[in-house]
Structure 1
Amino acid sequence: MKFDVSSLRWTREPRSSAITRDRIEIVTQPHTDLWQRTYYHFRNDNAPVLQMTTDEKFFSFVVKTEFAESHCTGTT
């Protein structure tokens, strides 16, 4: 599959991103997410989304994440 950076399209572009042929880095803002229809009817659809089209039936990619903070309070 040929990966063409110029074919990428944003839905809700982030304030900070860096895109190269080998790496896509997206820094999201606090409280952005893509939760839909949870048990408590919570919906949050405001995170950046980077998309592209392909004619390939299958493809794969690797995701690596880093979190600066945790929502965990450390108490039980």
Structure 2
Amino acid sequence: MKNYNWLNKPGKFSEDEQSLIIKTQKGTDMWQRTHYGFSKNNAPMYLTKSSQKDFIYEVKTVFNSQYLYDQCGIMIYLNENNWAKFSSEYENDKFQRLGGVVTKDGYSDWATQDIKSSINTIYYRVTRETNDFIVEYSFDNIDFHQMRIFNLAYGNIFNEINVGLYACSPQGNGFEAKFISPHFIVK
């Protein structure tokens, strides 16, 4: 994949022009302070920069998560203290969580909804409108549903943003996350 760079490069991964596979490692996560009292910024992220003020970014994720908190999805990254991730997160063999974390000024929040544990494919769509972002998901790449609308920098204008892919395993022994055909659509 062209024009992507690693932040926290994983030990095992493979890629071609259309896809990326990450084998996650135990102890990797993205979280800042709130509720749990810890900060983790070591999840592998494969990011590309965009200075487009208005764009749409889409990707298909396929995963076989199996350990508590295994997660894969999309990352919108300004810096260590200002970022957002949207992903599936494994809970148990009955359900997993589909949710998003928005981190501002070093504090994360988390909003979720339960989905079936048998789901192993999710499509994500991020729409940027200057500093505002709209995040949607789909299980079939036809019907998309809104997850969140947020402003990443409290109205302060920023020119460039990193957007891309991430996967991590805070507790488990790792899993394989596949990202297929990430791409931009300029609005």
Same fold (TM over 0.5): yes
Give the whole-Å Cα distance in 1 for the aligned partners of 2:92 and 2:45.
29
Aligned-pair identity in percent equals 23
Shift of residue 44, structure 1, vs aligned partner? 1.4
What is the aligned partner in structure 2 of residue 26 from structure 1?
A: 22
Shift of residue 59, structure 1, vs aligned partner? 1.9
Give the whole-Å Cα distance in 1 for the aligned partners of 2:31 and 2:23.
18
Shift of residue 16, structure 1, vs aligned partner? 0.7
In the alignment, which of 39, 56, 59 is matched to residue 57 of structure 2?
Answer: 59
Match of 2:49, SS state, is: coil
Shift of residue 30, structure 1, vs aligned partner? 0.6
Match of 2:2, SS state, is: helix
What is the aligned partner in structure 1 of residue 10 from structure 2?
A: 14
Letter paired with 1:39: H
Q: Which has the higher strand share?
A: 2
Give the whole-Å Cα distance in 2 for the aligned partners of 1:50 and 1:35.
17
What is the aligned partner in structure 2 of residue 43 from structure 1?
A: 39
Query: What is the Cα-based RMSD across aligned positions, in Å?
Result: 2.3
Shift of residue 27, structure 1, vs aligned partner? 1.0
Count of residue pairs brought into register by the alignment: 69
Match of 1:64, SS state, is: strand
Instruction: Mark the runs of 5 or more structure 1 residues left unpaired by the alignment.
Output: none
What is the aligned partner in structure 1 of residue 97 from structure 2?
A: none
Higher RCO, 1 vs 2 (CA within 8 Å, ≥6 residues apart)? 2
Match of 2:6, SS state, is: strand
Give the whole-Å Cα distance in 2 for the aligned partners of 1:63 and 1:16.
17
Shift of residue 73, structure 1, vs aligned partner? 8.3
What is the aligned partner in structure 1 of residue 166 from structure 2?
A: none
Give the whole-Å Cα distance in 2 for the aligned partners of 1:32 and 1:40.
15
Shift of residue 6, structure 1, vs aligned partner? 3.0
Shift of residue 70, structure 1, vs aligned partner? 2.0
Give the whole-Å Cα distance in 2 for the aligned partners of 1:17 and 1:50.
11
